[in-house]
Each structure stands twice: as structure tokens, then as C-alpha cells.
Amino acid sequence: MLHLIQLGVTFSGPRGELPVLGAGRRRCVWQFNFREFDDARDIFASDSIELLRHSGIDFRRNAERGVDARRFAELLMSSGVVLNDSVYWVTFHAGYDFGYLLKILTCNSLPDTQAGFFKLMKIYFPTVYDIKHLMKFCNSLHGGLNKLAELLDVERVGEAHQAGSDSLVTSCAFWKLKDSFFAGSTEKYAGVLYGLDAENGVSAH
């Protein structure tokens, strides 16, 4: 069984503005490290896990002090950010990420079919933008998230491959893409996850 290891969340307003917290009014993002992954028991790709280790993820510490995924799912369900078509989810090549989230939110295995998967997506995450899909309509853009950030002149805060930092880069890149390549309008590109329905002709709408 595969487990969620880390999740980064960046909230932003209608123009990409970040929330602020505390007396210092510091802008913030959230990173959750989960406890369930066990490299002695679970199936994983060795190169991916080594990349995460080199990026600073401490799996032993996560196992001891990480967030319980079931409790996180309960709080996420009651937070108002899922099951809400006024919340826009912005991601980068995120099919697997949503698969993990749907598993913990539904407490069930994923559907056997792609159509079933997207039916759940429309319920829990009604409006989704995958930047990797948007890039297909921008001739000058290519590569992964780091390359995209470089091309768009998006500054990274924190370590690459850490979920919080990647989340912030994704959010900033989306706003730059929207303004620079789509004249502020991206609605017709919603509901597509790169590598899934975009590649296989299945509509999420």
C-alpha cells in the first residue's frame, strides 16, 4: 500500500496574494509531514526516496512525530477547502497527489476506472488546474517545475522537492502563466490532469 509522505498547501487570494499570520504579518504556506510511510514495509521507488532524503525529509522523525493521515483527512473534510466549487486547486503534474488525497478522504481504495476517478475528483476537487497541462499551450515553456520557475523568473523559497516550497512555486507560477500567456482567463483548461484525461481523451467535465 502506498502512503502520502508530504503535502504542501499554499492559499492565495484572487491575485495571488498570500495569507499573513502573527504580529510580524509574515506571509505563510503550510507543509504537512505524514507518519504512515515505512521504508522497511512499503513499496517505493528507491531513487524517489533518496531524492526526498537529499532534500531534507527525515523519515524516522516523520514516523515518530508526523501527522496522522486519518486525522488530517477528517480536518480537511471539515475545513471547507474540499467539496467546494469556489476553491480552485492549482497543481503541477498531480495525478498521484490527488490519488493519495482521495484515498484518505474517502477511506477507500481508488476506483478501478479512470472515469470513476474523475467522478470523485469532480466531487471533492471540483475546480482543478494542472500547470503541466497549461504548459502545453505555451510554446516557449517546457520541463519540470524547477525549469518552469526559471523560465518565468519565479523565485524559490526553501528547498526544492520539499512540498511546502514546491507548493509556493506552483502557486506563483500559475499567476504568472495566467497573466502572461492566457490573458487572465484559464477557465476552459480546468478539470484536466496531465497524463490522465488530457492524454487519454477522457473529459473531467
Residue 37 pLDDT exceeds 90: no
User: What's the CA gap between 121 and 189, in Å, rounded?
Assistant: 15
pLDDT in tens, 143-168: 999 999 999 999 999 888 899 999 99
The per-residue pLDDT for 197 is 58
What is the overall mean pLDDT for the chain? 90
pLDDT in tens, 104-147: 999 999 999 999 999 999 999 999 999 999 999 998 899 999 99
* CATH number among 3.40.30.10, 3.10.290.10, 3.50.50.60, 3.30.420.10, domain 6-200: 3.30.420.10
CA angle, 121 then 170 then 49, to 5°? 80
SS3 176: helix
User: What's the CA gap between 194 and 95, in Å, rounded?
Assistant: 7
Higher pLDDT, 24 or 73: 73
pLDDT in tens, 1-15: 578 899 999 999 988
Helix, strand, coil shares of the chain, percent, nearest 5, are: 45, 10, 45
Instruction: Give the H/E segment covering residue 32.
Output: strand 30-33
User: For the chain, which residues make up each domain, given as ranges?
Assistant: 6-200
**Of 194, 150, 186, whose CA–CA distance to 16 is shortest?**
186
